[in-house]
Amino acid sequence: MSPRQPQCVHQLKITLLETKPPIWRRLQVASTINLRRLHDVIQVSMGWTQSHLYEFRVGDVTYGEPDPDFADMPVRSAKSTHLRRVAPEAGAKLRYVYDFGDYWQHAVVVEAVQPPEPGSRYPRCLGGRRACPPEDVGGVWGYVEFLEAIADPQHPDHEQMLTWSGGHFDPVAFDLAAINAELAHLGPSPWDLFPGG
């Protein structure tokens, strides 16, 4: 049985801010996707590992996982908020923050809202550039230092950083087929297929 198609699709460009050259992904997702599920899709497409907290910001409003222990910091439920409600049209912008320690900020821009292509599966990645930084590397500045260390065999931290990163790290790596295979494994959720929110 083939999966049902969404009624409408958002095309998004996600750019990891303050990285040069820029690290980015272009995605298409069902317009009815909720922000919690969009977090999962961004994690897969960027290469993050779901190891830290996240939030979305739309204007002055924060969406994430509300925590009753932090009631003084109002956070609306990402699971109850659909993309098409907070970013209904092309040009709409969101901010996605992952890992409040390293504080990776991503600009999320709606490039288009369009009908689905017959036979296509969503979510899907259309393109991108460069590998995302390793988890816990120390944010943008830590990543710059990491790249300098692994690129220079004479750097005092060269061996340590290579070992820490598993022996190899290619900052220009980008595997579109692997990302889409993982997104297909993620599979559609009810929010991808049916109207809501």
Q: What is the pTM of this model?
A: 0.90
43-81 pLDDT per residue, tens = 999 999 999 999 999 999 999 987 766 666 789 999 999
Please name each of the domains of the chain with its CATH number: 9-131+172-193 (3.10.290.30), 132-171 (no CATH)
103-125 pLDDT per residue, tens = 999 999 999 999 999 989 999 99
Instruction: Spell 98-118 as b/e; 16+ CB within 10 A means b.
Output: bbeebebebebbbbebeebee
